Amino acid sequence: MGITKTQMFTEKQNDLAQFFKVLGHPARVAILQYISNQNACICNDLVEEIGLAQATISQHLKELKTIGLLKGEVEGKSMCYCINIERWNAVQNQLNLFFNTTKSNCC
Amino acid sequence: MGITKTQMFTEKQNDLAQFFKVLGHPARVAILQYISNQNACICNDLVEEIGLAQATISQHLKELKTIGLLKGEVEGKSMCYCINIERWNAVQNQLNLFFNTTKSNCC
DNA sequence: ATATAATATCGTAATATTGCAATATGTAAA
DNA sequence: TTTACATATTGCAATATTACGATATTATAT
């Protein structure tokens, strides 16, 4: 089929996979790292910095915003994107919970 | 284009994204959780347990093996898959490093 | 109001992923 | 060696993702 059969998994499993998936693209990793390295909030220097087209960057930002890792505020004619630190920490905790509760029982 | 332009990112960014990506599918999350919940090492009860076709499960297992999170041993006519705990911990550390070094400077 | 700049959205092409049936391969028992 | 079972691989169809040009939208300045 090719479509992921989300209905056969739990909501938690789907949510967890969704976080991993959004972080699973190097452009989005790079965007998050770049934003975090600026003293001020950065808008679309990202286009120059990362080297993808404006439309592409905008799309990646949207995905990061959708899962709540970024928030954006209007700042003059540009947008000020920044990491939503509460959400950030919450996601980190979720991922760690997954790692910690999944242990080896092996061979 | 549709192809991810990996060459414009650092090796670390690509590696990190790769880990996230492999974990970014609910079937693979479910597989890891199921294996970790068994006392003994589990082979392909996964097919019954998860409800995807044998070929599909085998494919997911392969991806998890490729990034080293699972290791498999022959056990009679079946395979004993289990979590590679050293790798598991190493990946968890990598992800936490990413989360911890990416902080908010915002708005 | 108009022009300019920044960002978002739309449409589309290229590529990747998911899933399965069919088949191949490997392993153990008869 | 034949049979039976478990797993892996192949080939393919359906769907999803990535990327970008073109265009729309939004906001400020003139």
Domain membership flag for residue A107: no
pLDDT at B96: 97
Total count of domains within chain A = 1
Q: Could you report the per-residue pLDDT of A38-53, keeping only the tens digit for each?
A: 866 777 789 999 999 9
- Say if residues B93 and A99 touch (Cβ distance below 8 Å): no
Domain membership flag for residue A2: no
Across A32-40, average pLDDT: 86
Domain membership flag for residue B65: yes
B97 touching A, CB under 8 A? Answer: no
Cα B78 to its chain centre, rounded Å, is 21
ipTM value of the model? 0.92
pLDDT at B1: 40
Domain membership flag for residue A105: no
Domain membership flag for residue B48: yes
CATH of the domain at B25: 1.10.10.10
Q: Could you report the per-residue pLDDT of A60-97, keeping only the tens digit for each?
A: 999 999 999 999 989 888 999 999 999 999 999 999 99
| Residue contact A25–B33, C-beta within 8 A | no
- Say if residues A90 and A99 touch (Cβ distance below 8 Å): no
Domain membership flag for residue A103: no
> How far is the C-alpha of B104 from the C-alpha of B82, rounded, in Å?
37
Percent of chain B whose predicted confidence (pLDDT) is above 70 = 93
> How far is the C-alpha of A16 from the C-alpha of A10, rounded, in Å?
10
pLDDT at A35: 94
In residues, how long is chain A? 107
Across B39-54, average pLDDT: 86
Nearest to B32 by CA among B85, B73, B77: B85
The boundaries of the domain holding residue B74 are 12-97
- Say if residues A34 and A50 touch (Cβ distance below 8 Å): yes
How far is the CA of A50 from the CAs of A27, A84, B12, B63, in angstroms?
8, 21, 15, 28
Size of interface A-B (CB pairs under 8 A): 162
pLDDT at B15: 97
Across B91-102, average pLDDT: 95
Cα of A44 to nearest chain B Cα, Å: 15
Domain membership flag for residue B84: yes
